[in-house]
Chains A and B, each alone.
Chain A
Amino acid sequence: MTPVAVMVGANRIVPAAGIIHPLGSADLSPDDEKALRRRIVEQALQALRTEVAGPTVFTRE
């Protein structure tokens, strides 16, 4: 849903793991799922410390 986030003017946007479980995935083992969640949250923190001039999508490094 990142295009919607861009359209409404959200400034720091991190693509997550999907609509039905943005911060997880039932297909992964519990450890891998938590690692995925941690990666997304850390990327959100990285976005927070980045200066942006307008809607910016932070794609996975």
Chain B
Amino acid sequence: MATETLRVVCYVNQFFGQLGGEEKAGVGPQVMNGAVGAARAVQQALGDAGTVAATVICGDNYAAEQAERAVAEMVALVAAVRPDLVVAGPAFLAGRYGVACGALCAAVQAGLKIPAVTGMHAENPGVELYRRQVYIVQTGAEATRMLAEVKRLVALGLKLARCEAIGAPATEGYFARGVTRNVVAGASAADRAIAMLLEKLAGRPFASEVPRPAFPPVPAPRLAKALEGATIALVTDGGLVPRGNPDGIEALNATRYGAYSIEGKASLDAAQYDNPHRGYDTTWVKQDPHRLVPVDVARELEQSGAIGKLHETVYSTVGVATTLAHSARMGAEIAEKLRAAGVDAVILTST
């Protein structure tokens, strides 16, 4: 039976493309015929199933410092070869390389409609950035088991190129993409839950079907100046809004936040405020908004000189059933505005 031979393009950095080390990290994208450097492992793993038609090589610094341009140039080089599959890396724990691998795979899939696969270590920043868009096979931190790991990349890549069904992340060895797929289970949910509980009670390993989201560690900033000279802002996820909710902040699953001036206010007049939050009984904070946003006390601390200044804008949103993605976006936007306004620290009151 004749097997269709796939055309594959590999992407490697200057090191794995044998151009050189850090001294060559600034070189721009170039294409070479056939399998060059680490791409030879891809050819070996492909065997008769495919041919590495070309290898695209790009220096890590070039790819990191002008990412959009580098990716666009590499996509053009890939397009000219008209491959059936792109294999990027593996990048192991190399950060610049991993991010470039993810970006190229995402761009190739979106722009050229060509399947792409890459591989890297769990702590490579490329994983968090691209695992939702790109199949990223988990590898070790270093290239010591290169061929075995490339074989897994290629096996998954061949399935993608042949439009075969892709198994679960744990089966295929790629990082979960956040996709939920219906499957027919062999036992009912109750039976599976009891089985897991028994394993847990016996101290044996078990795999939850509902993994908790992983929260990456947040670096703890240090307050660079004394409180007496610092500008402090008040932020809340408890739903404080001016009467009439002018920004239309949602009662739950919020996508919006408001910026409300407290300039010239020694305290908040309950008659001027409202609260659309549907995640707790807001009766008491509507009676007295200071129970949520302590403007009265903060003003006194400003007057007495305990803090340098109270920031004149309060940011507020509703934190109930709010998606992680929207929370992260709103938090980043608010932080950006506070930083631009010269705020040194924030007291965020949460319900």
Contact = CB atoms under 8 A, between A and B. Distances in A.
Interface of A: 1, 5, 7-12, 16, 19-26, 33-34, 37-38, 40-42, 44-45, 48-49, 51-54
Contact of B349 (A9, A20, A22, A26): A22
Given A23-B294, A45-B347, 15 more contacts: A7-B215, A9-B215, A11-B220, A19-B351, A20-B285, A22-B291, A22-B349, A23-B292, A26-B284, A33-B291, A37-B296, A41-B301, A41-B347, A51-B220, A54-B217
Interface residues of B, number: 38
A37 B222 contact: no
A38 B296 CA distance: 9
A4 to B, nearest CB: 9
Interface in B23-45: none
For A24, A38, A40, A54, which residue has the most chain B Cβ atoms within 10 angstroms? Answer: A24
25 contacts: A7-B215, A12-B220, A16-B349, A16-B350, A19-B280, A20-B285, A22-B238, A22-B291, A22-B292, A23-B297, A24-B291, A26-B284, A33-B291, A34-B297, A37-B290, A37-B294, A37-B297, A41-B298, A42-B301, A45-B232, A45-B301, A48-B232, A51-B222, A54-B217, A54-B220
B164 interface: no
Contacts, number: 91
A37 to B, nearest CB: 5
Interface in B247-301: 280-285, 287-288, 290-294, 296-298, 300-301
Contact of A45 (B227, B282, B290): B227
A17 B216 CA distance: 28
Contact of B306 (A10, A20, A45): A45
A22 B218 contact: no
Given A34-B296, A37-B290, A41-B301, A9 B280 contact: no
Chain B at the A interface: SS class: loop
For A1, A11, A21, A33, which residue has the most chain B Cβ atoms within 10 angstroms? Answer: A21
A52 B288 CA distance: 33
A11 B218 contact: yes
For B282, B300, B345, which residue has the most chain A Cβ atoms within 10 angstroms? Answer: B345
Contacts of A38: 297, 300
Contacts of B307: 45
B223 interface: yes
A26 B294 CA distance: 15
A23 B282 CA distance: 13
Contacts of B300: 38
B350 A5 contact: yes
A12 B350 CA distance: 13
A49 B221 CA distance: 10
A49 B222 CA distance: 8
Given A26-B284, A45-B227, A9 B350 contact: no
